Amino acid sequence: MAEDQINGKPERVVDSPKVWTTLITNTKYLTGLLTLDASLKFVGSKYPLVALYTDTFPAEGHAALDARKIPKKRVKYLLPKMHKDYTNDPRFYDCWSKLTPFSLTEYERVVQLDSDMLVLKNMDELMDIPLDGADQAGKGQRVFAASHACVCNPLKKPHYPKNWIPENCAFTWQHDKPEEAQEKGSGPADGLAMPNGGLQVVIPSNEVYELISSKLADPSTMDYEFADQSLLGDVFYGRWVALPYIYNALKTLRWKGVHDAIWRDDKVKNVHYILSPKPWDENEEDKKKPDRDGSNQWWWDINDKRLVEEKSKGLVDGF
């Protein structure tokens, strides 16, 4: 595949060989993106966040990014050749585009983050963990790094696969060694062997992206219930680096009876606010509810700090 087909403009939008990236397709997640960017800056990351936007991202969103000097790059909206119905989980239509960082060959390394994440501790070390070089063309044993997906289905969603049960979850396998779980992930082939697509550490490569593109054109994508992460877990089965949960701490892991056996508030580096509603969807009444997810307040604390800073600079745009 020609490079101009993969990555329309392989030029850096920032003066850094290593970057964080996050996908943005609409303003629904924009507040999350802005607070994610602020959280990276508050923990002193040396690396910039680049917003990867699609043509669906509106003018007011661009204005908000520009006002905060958040660098951005246009990317194509990725979809498999065969249409799969994600009516039960429409968010998965956007998720295919999270495979784009594998094509950003202008950078030495990209760490893709979901916009509903919040960085609590510096995690710049992800920019240096050993991975296969681009010269290995996706044939090595360390193609990318990610944390496991939690396959417990704690909300008992009926459309989730029947094998999504605690017994098949890689995090369950760590319950008897919680201290180790803070520092290393379960093996990449453990449980259902599926990475969570919220955080991916990638060395961009045309060859690796070609493997991904070929799979996107294959009818077998109709079997992928979880879009990008299903594809990555299949194409690179057992050949990725499984990071500990602390880098992609799904908020549900903290819930009693899910994976609270390994969760440690003081060890978490990056919280992932999966599922809806998001913290920024809460109103004042929601914040007072006794069953409120306690981790939401962490997000509000950082968001409020961001808004105070922005207001001091005369920036007040509702995001």
Amino acid at 272: H
pTM for this structure? 0.93
> Tell me: the pLDDT tens digits for 197-220?
999 999 999 999 999 888 888 777
Let me know if residue 45 belongs to a domain. Answer: yes
Structure tokens at 246: 């602390």
Per DSSP, the three-state class of 147 is: strand
Q: Helices 59-67 and 30-42, interaxial angle, to 10°?
A: 10
Of 28-32, 87-91, 218-222, 232-236, where does mean pLDDT reach its minimum?
Answer: 87-91
Ranges 44-48, 213-217, 288-292: which has the least confidence: 213-217
List the beta bridge partners of residue 195.
Answer: 148
Phi and psi based region of residue 73 (left: phi greater than 0; alpha: psi -120 to 50; beta: remaining): beta
Whether 319 is covered by a domain: the verdict is no
In a domain, 60, yes or no: yes
Domain hosting 223: range is 3-312
Whole-number pLDDT of residue 220: 74
Kindly state whether residue 317 falls inside one of the protein's structural domains: no
Which CATH number does the domain housing residue 113 bear? 3.90.550.10
| Domain-embedded: residue 235 | yes
- Residue 135 confidence (pLDDT) above 50: yes
Task: Measure Cα distances from 297 to 32, 75, 310 in Å.
Answer: 14, 33, 20
Residue 318 placed within a domain = no
| CA 16 from centroid of its chain's CA atoms | 20
Number of domains in the chain: 1
Yes or no: say if 33 and 51 are a contact pair by the CB < 8 Å rule: yes
